[in-house]
Amino acid sequence: MNKKGLAILMRTRMKPNDASKLAQSPLNNIVKQSVSNSEGNQSNGGNKNLSAYNYTDRNFENVRESMHSAISMNKTEVLDSVLNDFSEGYFSLSYEDRRKLLLMLAKECDLNRTQVHELIKQYLGLELPSRWNVQSSGLEEEGTLSAFYRMERNLRHALKPKYEDLFERLNTHPGGLKFLSSLRADILFILAEENLASLRALDSHLKEKLSTWLSPAALELHQITWDDPASLLEKIVAYEAVHPISNLIDLKRRLGVGRRCFGYLHPAIPGEPLIFIEVALQKNVAQTIQEVLWDDPPIPESEATCALFYSISSTQTGPDLSAYEILQPGLSGINLGKFLIKRVIKHVKRDMPHISTFATLSPIPGYMQWLLSKLASQSKLAEGEALSHSSAEKSGSTFFENILEPEEERGLMEASTEFVAGNNGMEVMLKLLTSTNYEWINSDELLSALKPPLMHLCARYLLQEKKRGKALDSVANFHLQNGAMIERINWMADRSEKGLRQSGGIMVNYVYRLESIEEYAHSYFNTGHIHASNDLRRYVEVQPKDEFDGQ
């Protein structure tokens, strides 16, 4: 093993393979503080504890003072020192003190609403000029316009919270952007506990600033190779959790012949991939993750016609990409992946013109959660109504819906007799899918009985289940808003424990058609229209004729 491989191996073994634990987390501070308090109570007397509290109070006051100085100070030569004191002092605080400081920042450094209210009254008191659109106006109207412009400038200034100055100064300070990400991670953690309006406003301003500073124009698309520093490769190992990297041989293979890995880097956060995507060069669109991750020799790159995106690890969570792994919690909700795939497609197409197909092999992280909830509720309704109503009355119930086709239900009831008992197919299916050891994947008979309902319900989940007019599944929403279409769902494509838990082992291929990306993205954004293949449409039992596009 070379020195680089040894360095990566040792450093990743010393760190947890969990990206959320690598980032500085408020939870760590809670634990540290609890341990510290416990040890102090056991080993120190009352005077020593009082001394410790006094030190903590002084430390908090110092950090608070440096925070206010960083906002109000104008002298450039001392500002860097003050920003250093604030950022270093902040990380020395306990969780409770960080919380107290952030609440102070949100309230004490908010905008002056009394001033805003007074300015609005003055603005409303100005008389509108008689002509707005005439190029040359009289001196009197010019004077009135000047008063409007002056008042609007004052309003803009008054509507800017004081803490915005702190954010902007930290952004230009060495290490400041990363510090702001950690700061927002703490804000989000506190908001999860207490949803305060002032703290929401603080988070909204910081998120808006981070979105601007981390725009695609400010990010560098970097192809990650084995020649990159070990410190960067170690982060790829640690952060990749869609399909975890098992060892150094696996890592080297993912960066070698027939593979590509691209990441977004920011000059203010050197060596830190904010989001990265892994690509396999293949002859055809893979139907299982085993085809991608097996140790078989790759095909010659000159024979490849397909670039398959099989893993995206992102800094964000939330509605766009919550299923993919989090690198920096403070960047949650900032869509860094929106332009990444398009830039990677452009890069690959430029280097390899013979690649004609761009597709994904993606997880369906919300499918099983949706399905199990649906099965549980409908099974309970079926059981209750069977006791009080006839079959005809039950079928007409407003809430009851047998989500299985008659032949699917018969197949499940017949195949499951040796495994589980149930009053109907939905109950049987629920028991099989919630078994802890997934014994159903070892039975050819159960696999055969489960495949039709799992596949057709998966198509329904992807195509018809919506949230605010968009795809319910977070990964589907991500690819559809980027201009992809849903091409195919694949049976037993991921037999790992995670794959079975998330989607019953089913994975999906999204395809990016170069000539249609903008059209598809536009129609999905405006109307929620989902483009899908005819093969996928056939899984959905009843639908309007042109609900989905056939491709």
**CB of 15 closer than 8 Å to CB of 22:** yes
Helix (H, G, I), strand (E, B) or coil at 317: coil
In angstroms, the CA 442 to CA 491 distance is 14
Catalytic residue chosen out of the listed positions 311, 362, 416, 533: 362
| Single-letter residue type at 226 | W
Cβ atoms of 422 and 383 closer than 8 Å: no
Helix, strand, coil tally for the chain in percent (to 5): 55, 10, 35
DSSP letter string, 52-70: HHHHHHHHHHHHHHHHHHH
Q: With contact defined as beta carbons under 8 Å apart, do 300 and 350 qualify?
A: no
Active-site residue flag, 479: yes
Using the 8-state DSSP alphabet, how is residue 343 labeled? Answer: H
**What long-range pairs does 462-469 form, CB within 8 A, spacing at least 24?**
462/364, 462/367, 462/486, 462/489, 462/508, 462/530, 462/532, 462/536, 463/530, 463/532, 463/536, 463/537, 463/540, 463/543, 463/547, 463/548, 464/540, 464/543, 465/370, 466/528, 467/319, 469/527, 469/528
* Cα end-to-end distance, the chain, whole Å: 49
Token readout for 507 is: 């994975």
Instruction: Pick the catalytic residue from 182, 479, 503, 533.
Output: 479
Instruction: Point out the residues that are catalytic.
Output: 362, 479
